[in-house]
Structure 1
Amino acid sequence: MGRDISSAVVEHLGFFQSFDDVKVYYDNGQDIVKQALDRSVSKVLSKGVVRRRKTSMTDYRLEQVADYLCAIELALVKYEAKEDGETYNKFFGGVGSFKRNWLKQARSKRI
């Protein structure tokens, strides 16, 4: 996971370097994901520029929206690869319901 994150950041390094600040948002849901993000971003973007702060999820509403939209896109990938499992079907109500409701609403918000 860490290698994939590092590779993605390196591949788009110019994009990341075009910003004065780069914020990494993760809700600390899984420690292994938190560690992979921390190590990869620090390794690629330079340890001296990365600052960590404890925050509240309500402080970053835009990141919550991004997290939601990424979850919807991931669900689409899982459905298309037939890797959705019963949890997706219980939550979204199956692939048809997912595409008609959740995906359609998320895609209508694209800029």
Structure 2
Amino acid sequence: MKWIVKKADLEVYRQKFDGKLAAYAEEAKMIALPLPKYYILVLDEEKLHLIQLDLDFNEKALQTIFLHDITQLQFTGVLNKKLSIRTPNATIKLLIKPMAMGIQEEQKRFLARIAQMAK
């Protein structure tokens, strides 16, 4: 079982999905049981890919959200950032940790772009 997402992992997914930015996120949950879902987020000019990972951090599922389909984007939190993405079909709540070991720069760049989009 792998426990850490590395910069190289983000780069692999960023290139695979032709994105500008990539970050690691978890499903935002009040209680950690069962374990949250883990995601790599890849953002480009038109869409956001949510790549769900299994416990070994292998690709499990893929969801693509076109940016023009997002009806509401909420961005909150002091240390860990909670991102709520609402589309006509679903609401997705994610937790992004900007101080994740080894990928702080990527996390902060992604969060800055999301904050800009949320305005």
Band of TM-score, shorter chain:
under 0.3
TM-score between both structures, scaled by the size of structure 1: 0.27
Specify which structure has the higher proportion of strand: 2
TM-score between both structures, scaled by the size of structure 2: 0.26
Specify which structure has the higher proportion of helix: 1
Which protein shows a greater Rg?
1
